Amino acid sequence: MNASGRVLTAAATSPSVSTRVNASGLLLVLAALVLAVFLLLPMGALLGHSVLDAQGNWSFQRFHDVLTAPGMADATWNTFWVALAVTAITVPLAFLYAYAIQRSCMPFKGLWRMLGLSPLLGPSLVGAIAFIQWFGTQGLLKSWLGDTSVYGPLGIIMATVFASFPHALMVLIVALATADGRLFEAADALGASRWRKFVTVTLPAAKYGLISAGMLVFAYSVSEFGIPKVIGGNFKVLAVEIYVQTVGQQNLGHGAVVALMLLVPVMFAYVVDRQVQRRQQASMTARAVPYQPKRDVLRDSLLTLFTATVAFAMLAVLGMAMYTSVITFWPYNLAPTLGHYTYGLADAGVGNAYLNSLWIALLTALLGTPFIFVTAYLLDKTGQPNSPLRSAIQAMASLPMGVPGLVLGIGYILFFNHPDNPLGALYRTFAIMVIVNVVHYYSACHLTALTALKSLDREFEAVSASLKVSRLVTFFRVTLPVCLPAVLEISRYLFINAMTTVSALVFLYSPDTLPAAVSILNLDEAGELGPAAAMATLIILTTAVFSLLHAGLTHLLLRRHQAWRTASR
Amino acid sequence: MSHLQVRGIGKRFGAFVALDAIDLDVQKGEFVVLLGPSGCGKTTLLRTLAGLEMQDQGQIIHAGRDISRLPPAQRDYGIVFQSYALFPNLNVGQNVAYGLNNKRQGREAFRQRVDEMLALVGLPGTENKYPAQLSGGQQQRIALARALATRPDLLFLDEPLSALDAIERVRLRTEIRKLQQRLGVTTVMVTHDQEEALSMADRIVVMRSGRIQQMGDPQTIYHRPANDFVADFIGRGNLIQGEASAADTIVHHGLSLQCDATLQPGKAYRFYLRPEDIRLLDPLEATHNSLLATVDKQEFLGAFTLVTLNPLHTGMPALVAQFSSNYLDGRPIEIGSRVRIGLPKERLHPMQEAA
């Protein structure tokens, strides 16, 4: 009866509905556009460029040229078998190391864990420089290698094992963290031997973690560019070939084709890893009882010995790089000096590189973190769950994990350096380096943000709406405080990676924007090993200090704002 | 005119019909329970009323105001979810006060309201605790206090008791019902638990596959289920079908049974008889609506015993009877023994045909 009259009142208020919905929808469209411009279009440019000939016509000429070029078959095969060797060494080492941390009563676990992850603090090149010092022509331990030169596959494998070890370790520590204690009790009750328990309970539970770590290390080795550049000698691999084609011979077309060849195995590893992770989620049930290792003298001492040996080797590598930076000339003049830090860096004209990197890393963390977190928030908490826009953003956010930095870098050159691109002004600026870093490391951060957001009750937004509290208020009062640890972790991850990365930036810097990690490469090329080690040490110290400050800040913030986490019943 | 009117609400998720032309009226102060198995559309209906889902068609009118297209914030309700959805980083006081506007009301009034709400749900003095420090039942009470703090005109409860243990569930359902009656707040609750529905509701709406199967007070729903689905979903029962031979008699496998309803002779009817409606008679008491049967199985369940009986009439399906312990009062039931049972005519209500 009078309902129809009142409909008018409702209709009058409805415009505010559409504005509210549009505000978050608009932001999401914006995020999608940003990702499309800075990820999809460069990748598209890469694909497009590889199937055009010099005149701009469709052709597979470039593929033909590259594939039949002398040395390409060797480079491909070398890349492949070196990656296999690195994976075969790193994964078992990291597994045993993680096993010792998670499944034994070894003392000082925190220390071992920190040492095991320490290679993350420096650029991957650190290992290469240190191994040259240890095993190179003038190396202290040269005799250990017999007649084999460290410049070549052996050096590449050793340095890559060192650099990829912490990545595998992180995955495996997580994989071994959750064990169902009931299974071990059942095995004990059935009288299973130690070996039998390991093979029938431990390994199957860690299976997905092992595959995941293997894929990660394989992809890491295939895409690693700095290590073979420094220690590879004349041994050809694809990643260096991209650099040679693009920077050395200025042949972008060939660079693009080689980049695609690199993309294939990395994408394959990435897809396998995604499938595996999807399965793993179902394998742990809510009823599982956490496994508590019991003291076992034999096992614990053997594992401690192993862990200490690996950790000591890590320290020897890091330490040698740092030591090189404070002595005059290895091995002839061991007099301590700070010369490499002062005139060594200044003479080479890379004095600003350190400050450049500090800026890039700070901006990457400060701008990347809010962008990534807000995008993940909009994706998870607003609007309709399965719209095409959302799926597109989700796909774009996951993609960078499967794209090596070098490949992304080539895509950026092709896209932003194109004369018709209105965004061309960005090329070789700080801005583009910050952007490429955010994009390059997007996936892991996105996953961290999404995991934190998904752990929130999905009805928070509904409850707020029913209480007439705006979404923005709930974001700042509840969502952000609860996700604070994840947000802090994202910023740390971005800073450290931006500080140490070489691969994408190597194509995008100008003399004014040279980043520190790339300058190490240039110094090494010029034979300036001392200043190169000095720069590496600066980076390591920076990331170490940053990690300490970050840990302190996190601790303070959590204590002040997160009392609820520790409140006891 | 009823307080909350739902007219022709329909909703699809792709090819799946979640709600199919739902009509529902809720009176002021009424406690309505939406009951059904998972996937029946009851939660979708509640979320549509709350504006958390948007219906494809149909109208929702609350207190004469068309709220069909309004966002949640412009509707007037409080809601409690199965997961409680308490903000973990805010203490109990801050949670309860979350929807209160402290600029408008002043700090003192604000604190008073929080105290009042905590007293109402029986947890005074807990305002400085964090949700994680409370038990599940306490958390649910706080969620209820938060939903009611803003004095909403409607209260929506989405499976509020499902996450609690059995004892807490029974205690809290009585408390919620009492509170609802005291405040007189119009309430719509969703549950899949028939006992919960029977014990709390003024009116039950049984749903299946996006459609309403039956609406009515708990007694009607229980004793006069409109169709097989409702009958099966709510409690156990015995299906008795036959053709009417007179206005008050049907023939069920050769046995004449009287009933209170008025029937059309020659037409087939179906009746639903609850296990506890079956009487145990003296074997010689060959009255109307009685028959002989052998005891096939019995299951002792403490307060009562479930007995499966095989009638002697050939072809008549087995009946399940439920005898409470004090009804039996020492009369032994032994497997294989022969008993006479009565099917009371006042309990035989013909079912409307399937919706």
- Structural domains of chain A in order of their starting residue, each with its CATH number: 72-324 (1.10.3720.10), 341-569 (1.10.3720.10)
Which residue among A3, A11, A466 places its CB closest to the CB of B61? A3
Q: How confident is the model at residue B94 (pLDDT cuts 50, 70, 90)?
A: very high
Determine whether the interchain pair B85/A457 forms a contact, defined as Cβ–Cβ distance below 8 Å: yes
More confident call, B187 vs B354 = B187
Start-to-end CA span in chain A (Å):
55
* C-alpha separations of A322 from A164, A308, A325, B176 in Å: 20, 20, 5, 69
What are the chain A neighbours of B52 within 8 Å (beta carbons)?
462, 465
Q: CA of B84 to nearest chain A CA: how many angstroms apart?
A: 9
- Residue B333: is its pLDDT beyond 90? no
Q: What is the pLDDT of residues A111-131, one digit of tens each?
A: 999 999 999 999 999 999 999
**What does the alpha-carbon distance between residue A236 and residue A244 come to, in Å, rounded to a whole number?**
10
User: Per-residue pLDDT tens for A128-147?
Assistant: 999 998 998 887 888 888 88
Q: Report the residue count for chain B.
A: 355
Poorest-confidence range of A216-220, B142-146, B331-335? B331-335
For residue A17, pLDDT over 80 is answered with no
CB contact under 8 A, A463 and B50: no
Q: Where are the alpha helices (DSSP H) in A193-251?
A: 194-197, 203-223, 226-231, 238-243
- Count of beta carbons in the 10 Å neighbourhood of residue A217: 27
Task: Please report the pLDDT score of residue A21 as a whole number.
Answer: 53
Structure-block tokens of residue B269: 């009817």
DSSP letters of B12-56?
A: EETTEEEEEEEEEEE-TT-EEEEE-STTSSHHHHHHHHTTSS--S
pLDDT tens track for B116-125: 999 999 999 8
| Selected residue with higher pLDDT from A16 and B198 | B198
Does pLDDT of A1 surpass 80?
no
pTM, 2 dp: 0.85
CA A472 from chain centre, in angstroms, equals 31
The Cα of A453 is separated from the nearest Cα of chain B by a number of Å equal to 13
Ordered alpha helix ranges (H), chain B: 42-49, 92-96, 102-105, 107-120, 136-149, 166-183, 194-200, 218-223, 228-233, 325-328
Supply the pLDDT for residue A566. Answer: 67
C-beta atoms of A467 and B150 within 8 A? yes
- Which residues of chain B approach chain A closer than 8 Å at the C-beta? 1, 5, 50-52, 59, 61, 64-75, 77-79, 81, 83-91, 98-99, 129-133, 146-147, 150, 152, 156
Residue B102 banded pLDDT, cuts 50, 70, 90: low
Enumerate the residues of chain B whose CB falls inside 8 A of the CB of residue A480.
none
* Calpha distance A32→A373 (Å, rounded): 14
Can you tell me the mean pLDDT for A70-97? 93
Query: Does A561 contact B74 at a Cβ distance shorter than 8 Å?
Result: no
Say how far apart CA A220 and CA A384 lie, in whole Å.
37
- Calculate mean pLDDT across residues B33-39: 94
Which chain B positions have a beta carbon within 8 Å of A467's beta carbon? 78, 98-99, 146-147, 150
The least confident of A90-94, A407-411, A424-428, B17-21 is A424-428
| Min Cα–Cα distance to chain A from B72, Å | 6
Distance, CA of A201 to CA of A50 (rounded, Å): 48
* Residue with more model confidence, A31 or A291: A31
Region for residue A146 given its phi and psi (left: phi exceeds 0; alpha: psi -120 to 50; beta: otherwise): left
Of B195, B189, B215, B192, residue with least CA distance to B204: B215
**Confidence grade of residue A567 (pLDDT, cut at 50, 70, 90):** low
φ, ψ of residue A245 to 5 degrees: the values are -65, -45
Q: Report, as an integer, the average pLDDT of A245-257.
A: 84
The mean pLDDT value for B20-30 works out to 95
* Residue of B16, B66, B81, B139 to mutate for A, most A C-beta atoms under 10 A: B66
Q: Under an 8 A CB cutoff, do A462 and B50 touch? A: yes
How does A490-518 read in b/e, with b if 16+ C-beta sit within 10 Å?
bbbbbbbbbbbbbbbbbbbbeeebbbbbb
Provide φ and ψ at B231, rounded to 5°.
-60, -45
Question: What are the tokens at A263?
Answer: 């993309």
Between CA B271 and CA B284 the distance in angstroms is 26
Tokens (6 digits) for A168: 């595998």
pLDDT classification of A6: cutoffs 50, 70, 90 = very low
| Band of residue A177 on the pLDDT scale cut at 50, 70, 90 | confident
Task: Decide if pLDDT at A10 tops 50.
Answer: no
Tell me what pLDDT residue A174 has. 84
**The two structure tokens encoding residue A488:** 């802090």
Alpha-carbon gap: B301 to the closest alpha carbon of chain A (Å): 29
For the cut 80, the answer to whether the pLDDT of residue B83 exceeds it is yes
Distance, CA of A92 to chain centre: 21
